[in-house]
Amino acid sequence: MSGASIVGVGGHDVAIVGVGGHDVAIVGVGGHDVAIVGVGGLGAPAAAALAASGANALTLIDDDLVEVSNLPRQPLFDVTDVGTPKVEAAARRLRALRPGMRVATIRARVDSGNAARILAGHGVIIDGTDGLPSKSMLNDAALTLGIPLVHAGAVGLDGQLFTILPGRSACLRCLFPELPGEDDMPTCQQSGILGPVVGAIGFAAAAEARRILSGEAPELANRLAILDGVRVRWRTVAVRPNPRCPACDAARTASPPGVRSLA
């Protein structure tokens, strides 16, 4: 089967986009407010926190299968899920936690070619991906669509969080005008990753998403939050929009279809 298959969802508050590249299985989409891209160490705790805090609807997007190595830091999964698509296992667990919550799943990898189709219409995107290419692509897609993006990342013993309001706050390319290449950055495999750090970042991302959905000002627009996982200390760094940022310029000139504006 090619293209997309839709497996159920419904009326959500959150859409989670994890992704992967080919056949797209959409399990329940429709009217979500939050898209979670990547249902792993960051996205899984974000989804759990949103479910626990009363979200009505989630969209989960990921193309990976659950692996044994995921289990220590991805609390929605257990050994019986190994080999199962993450979006399916996560949706099953979330529906058990919150039977009334609608969960849509999209088994795909978000890329520049499908991002607009997958993400349009969501009120907030949570970036639970790893790797700078994915994160910069999501940054650009969110800006073009005019959808707020909660950027989350973790590697080694540190984590970071940053909220992007298209056209109104700094974006990832304002923060890092010369984004390093993927080969220039340590991977989680090289640097390791601390389960409590990704969990804390995922939960904090959910809190930011809920602020945005409820019309409150996000805490981390124009502020980069950094978690030192060794000392368990948070600090924030002010970030200014770059008036010459090409991605932000595209956001200002874009006319996104069907995207909600925030209060």
Contacting residue, 171, 201, 204, 205, with Zn ion by CB under 5 A: 171
Stretch that binds Zn ion, among 12-20, 34-42, 88-96, 172-180 (CB under 5 A): 172-180
Closest CB 171 distance from Zn ion, rounded Å: 3
Stretch that binds Zn ion, among 62-70, 102-110, 163-171, 204-212 (CB under 5 A): 163-171
Closest CB 143 distance from Zn ion, rounded Å: 7
List the beta bridge partners of residue 126: 36, 150
Q: Which residues 218-247 are close enough to bind Zn ion by CB under 5 A? A: 245, 247
Query: How many residues line the site for Zn ion (CB under 5 A)?
Result: 6
Q: What is the dihedral of CA 28, 34, 40, 46, to 10 degrees?
A: -120
Q: Calculate the alpha carbon distances from 40 to 12, 179, 234, 262 in Å.
A: 20, 23, 22, 28
Q: Is 174 in the site for Zn ion (CB under 5 A)?
A: yes
The one-character DSSP state at 163 is E
Closest CB 41 distance from Zn ion, rounded Å: 26
Cα–Cα distance between 236 and 261 in angstroms, integer?
Answer: 26
Cα–Cα distance between 216 and 224 in angstroms, integer?
Answer: 18
Q: Which is nearer to Zn ion, 138 or 171 (CB)?
A: 171
Q: Is 248 in the site for Zn ion (CB under 5 A)?
A: yes
Q: Which is nearer to Zn ion, 48 or 142 (CB)?
A: 142
Q: Calculate the alpha carbon distances from 148 to 22, 125, 213 in Å.
A: 26, 6, 10
Cα–Cα distance between 85 and 13 in angstroms, integer?
Answer: 22
Closest CB 208 distance from Zn ion, rounded Å: 18
| Catalytic residue from among 174, 188, 245, 248 | 188
List the beta bridge partners of residue 102: 57
Query: How crowded is residue 217: how many other Cβ atoms within 10 Å of its Cβ?
Result: 11
Q: Which is nearer to Zn ion, 32 or 173 (CB)?
A: 173
Q: Footprint of Zn ion on this chain (CB under 5 A)? A: 171, 173-174, 245, 247-248
